[in-house]
């Protein structure tokens, strides 16, 4: 699929980008992979880290807000993976217009440039926070998702295909609860702060997110939202797994934070199909959409069904969490 192709990755110096680059270079033989991002220092560090792939890696300094720069970068590109976004909830709340420019206008620019330049497929990364959003970050990502789905109606004879991959907080990623707890424990803290004792989360690793993107690249027809089937865990069980002697104190849920992660709502269930290790939400009725685009072998989920970390069928207990922590790779 990706052999001999040109791939462009926006926001390519982030945690997902690093894992994606490694996976592409070890599993495929692309013509080149273009890393498009704003930070020259991070690009320098990435170039140093992946020197062995220097002949096939290209680095473009640019912002998704800059349509002309992106149009130049998109020239000759076959596939685009869109990972660039302003993602920190408090930062987006404090800088709302900046979040809109990057997450919404940036998405619009990618749709336009991909169609104008004849890109075959665009896979945009989404988040659980785009589902029933309660903060600005989630709202901008919901708008972004809608723009990419609608992009399929605008591609016309160019036949550019737009699809979405959605996942929640990555285990061990910067800013997530696991490295936060680990840092406290390393400092000798034996009373871990828990925002709410009822809180649950999904467990997903970066390599699973990358694999889901590969799946979307291989089989998407346009308009799908891909979601990995993964287990849930209780935050209190995570704290016990990280230090059996640690106590906990409830500090209250933070503004803009959800009690549980939700990937599929009851409203979306009418268009959701379950497969062995993932779900696909198909678009609602559009003129450009046809059931002929649907993947064979899926089972429609019940109406009013929801896929959320608190109602999940698969759960990790304390011992299983310990096993996963032992092999967990922490990512920046």
Catalytic center residues: 129
Is residue 143 helix, strand or coil? helix
Residue 118 burial class via C-beta count within 10 angstroms: exposed 0-12, middle 13-18, buried 19 and up:
middle
Strand partners for 227? 166, 279
- Backbone φ, ψ for residue 295 (5° rounding): -70, 135
Strand partners for 274? 279, 299
The Cα–Cα gap between 108 and 232 comes to 34
Orientation angle between helical segments 15-27 and 206-219, nearest 10 degrees: 60
The Cα–Cα gap between 6 and 16 comes to 18
| Helix or strand (DSSP H, E) at 93 | helix 89-94
The Cα–Cα gap between 147 and 252 comes to 35
Please choose, from the candidates 204, 331, 196, the residue with its C-alpha nearest in 3D space to the C-alpha of residue 277.
Answer: 204
Please say whether the beta carbons of 209 and 228 come within 8 A. yes
Alpha helices (H) in 155-234, listed in sequence order = 177-186, 206-219
The Cα–Cα gap between 305 and 263 comes to 11
């Amino acid at each position: 699929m990706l052999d001999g192709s040109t791939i462009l990755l926006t926001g390519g110096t982030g945690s997902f980008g690093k894992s994606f680059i490694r996976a592409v270079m070890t599993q495929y033989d692309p013509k080149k992979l273009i890393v498009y991002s704003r930070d020259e220092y991070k690009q320098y560090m990435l170039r140093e880290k992946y020197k062995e792939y220097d002949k096939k890696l290209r680095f473009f300094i640019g912002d998704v807000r800059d349509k002309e720069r992106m149009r130049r970068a998109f020239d000759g590109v076959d596939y685009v993976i869109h990972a660039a976004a302003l993602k920190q909830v408090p930062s987006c709340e404090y800088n709302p217009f900046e979040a809109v420019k990057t997450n919404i206008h940036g998405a619009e620019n990618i749709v336009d440039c991909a169609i104008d330049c004849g890109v075959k497929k665009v896979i945009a990364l989404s988040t659980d926070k785009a589902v029933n959003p309660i903060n600005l970050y989630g709202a901008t990502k919901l708008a972004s998702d809608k723009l990419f789905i609608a992009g399929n109606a605008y591609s016309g004879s160019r036949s550019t295909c737009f699809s979405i991959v959605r996942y929640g907080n990555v285990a061990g990623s910067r800013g997530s609860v696991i490295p936060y707890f680990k840092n406290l424990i390393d400092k000798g803290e034996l009373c871990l702060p828990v925002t709410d004792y009822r809180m649950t989360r999904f467990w997903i690793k970066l390599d699973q997110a990358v694999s889901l993107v590969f799946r979307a690249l291989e089989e998407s027809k346009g308009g799908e939202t891909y979601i990995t089937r993964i287990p849930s865990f209780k935050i209190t069980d995570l704290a016990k797994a990280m230090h059996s002697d640690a106590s906990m104190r409830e500090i209250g849920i933070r503004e803009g934070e959800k009690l549980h992660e939700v990937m599929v709502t009851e409203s979306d269930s009418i268009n959701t199909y379950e497969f062995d290790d993932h779900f696909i939400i198909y678009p609602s009725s559009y003129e450009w959409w046809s059931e002929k685009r649907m993947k064979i072998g899926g089972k429609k989920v019940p109406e009013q069904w929801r896929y959320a970390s608190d109602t999940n069928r698969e759960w990790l207990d304390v011992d299983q969490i310990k096993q996963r922590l032992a092999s967990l790779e922490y990512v920046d």
